[in-house]
Amino acid sequence: MAEDAAVPTGIDSHIPNAARMYNYFLGGKDNFPTDREAAERVLTIAPEARELARQNRAFLRRAVRYLVAEAGIRQFVDIGAGLPTQGNVHEVAAEVDPGTQVAYVDNDPVVLSHARALLSSTTNTIAVQGDLRDPEAILDDPELNSLIDFTEPVAILLVAVLHFISDSDKPDDLIGRLRDAVPRGSYLVLSHVTAEERPDTAHQAAEVYRDANMSVTLRSRERILGMFDGFELVEPGLVREDEWRPDQEPLAGSAGRATPTWFLCGVGRSM
């Protein structure tokens, strides 16, 4: 999406967009000059941002593979799904069981139009518009309910999205409402940016998002851990993304531990 002339109706290409900036970090083409400029400002402050975005996707893939192959999960609700990239949830899950049902949810219309185009010939997978700040609307969505059976265990994916939820929107409460809607033995997959390891860099990078369509709230390890209330963390607990079961998918060419991180992640099983 290099030229404004190609901008679909209703899309503002003049405000940096968090989903498209992330797409740029991942080497995608679904972004506009404004997104690239903002992303480059982040990269000037924190050159590791590209590597961290890749690590986040790698964590997501490993978590999905673990849930389908080892935990027996066959239903995913991926909220804040983002623009389609390589190794999407339904593709990773289908490698283990093609019958796995995946509902992508995002509040960004650009994300939705790309996801729907990608999924037009796919069964067992849908994309619906929804906002994490209104969990009941997501849970009541008729299309989502036609695919996801909420009497059976579900994995709720909140990967790299909760830092876009401000404290005033009560993220713990939102997670609790999702947790209460799924049966025991369901899972929460979560990653979140933190200022713990490099506070100055993280705060400066987060500052860039003040001009974007959504701002970033950095949270402490303790606050992120608290988001797993009602869930039992599976091993290895809340860790850096390159430390979550890395043996299942070695990070080829990754700087690994040498890369400072702003991300913590974990997978929890509802009790």
Is 35 among the residues that bind ligand SAM (CB under 6 A)? no
Is 30 among the residues that bind ligand SAM (CB under 6 A)? no
- What residues from 216 to 245 belong to the interface with ligand SAM (CB under 6 A)? none
Q: How far is the CB of 110 from ligand SAM (least distance, A)?
A: 8
Neighbour tally for 37: CB within 10 Å: 14
Applying CB under 6 A, which of residues 36, 116, 133, 245 lies at the interface with ligand SAM? 133
Neighbour tally for 99: CB within 10 Å: 10
| Cα 248 from Cα 8, distance rounded (Å) | 40
Q: How far is the CB of 185 from ligand SAM (least distance, A)?
A: 23
| Cα 34 from Cα 10, distance rounded (Å) | 16
Binding segment for ligand SAM among 102-110, 140-148, 193-201, 232-240 (CB under 6 A)?
102-110
Q: How far is the CB of 250 from ligand SAM (least distance, A)?
A: 20
Task: Say if residues 189 and 157 touch (Cβ distance below 8 Å).
Answer: yes
Applying CB under 6 A, which of residues 41, 54, 57, 269 lies at the interface with ligand SAM? 57
Residue 238 CB partners (closer than 8 Å, separation 6+): 221, 224, 225, 228, 264, 265, 266
Task: Say if residues 137 and 98 touch (Cβ distance below 8 Å).
Answer: no
Q: Which residues pair with 264 in a beta bridge?
A: 192
Applying CB under 6 A, which of residues 16, 22, 46, 240 lies at the interface with ligand SAM? 22
The residue ranges that bind ligand SAM (CB under 6 A) are 18-19, 22, 56-57, 60, 79-82, 106-108, 111, 131-133, 159-161, 164, 214
